[in-house]
Structure 1
Amino acid sequence: MLFDLTGFQRDLLYVISGLDHPSGQDIKERFERDFGQQIKHGRLYPNLDHLVESGFVEKGQLDRRTNYYHLTDLGRQKLDQRREWENQVQADTSTA
């Protein structure tokens, strides 16, 4: 379930969803640019692996040294559900 992910893992899903088959380096650069903080490889790749193992992200090979990542249908569905939940919470809060 998407609520079981850390905030960092959810942010990675959003970054991956906005890129076309990005490499880990592409994800790292985009994240660092958007969030203004450095990500160490020891943090990035284990979290990407967790997203792959959870079925939210697909991992493929661009060449012998470089992998790509792609949001699965399940990953996209979970992000959509998350957005719906966030919108509902905001709507509930604004009417309270």
Structure 2
Amino acid sequence: MNAQPMTCGDYVTATFARDFVADGFDHDTVERIHRGLFDEWTHALAQSGLFSNGTVADALDSWQDDPHSLLSALLANADEITLKRYDLVWEALERSAHAGSADAVVEYA
């Protein structure tokens, strides 16, 4: 049997996903993740005692490269309706971020 090594997302899913979904929809958390604010998640991984410092650092690097990967890991076991709610918020944040950057370009052009 060839076991695949666990990814950062696998660690997050195993550690947080059930509680994240059970706690109900959380718009503020989606906004923080979208803005790249990962302190609570890196702290929770580090404090769990389950992961090495290297694994925690790798997780942070992964999230900084792709913030949506953290949200996806947290929602890995969520039902379809929950996924849709979070996707709609993420898409709205993306549109807002792109509109803001377009406005900044126009202002300084």
Q: Shorter-chain TM-score category?
A: 0.3 to 0.5
TM-score normalised by L of structure 2: 0.33
TM-score normalised by L of structure 1: 0.37
Higher RCO structure, 1 or 2 (CA under 8 Å, sep 6+): 2
Bigger Rg, which one: 2
More helix by share: 2
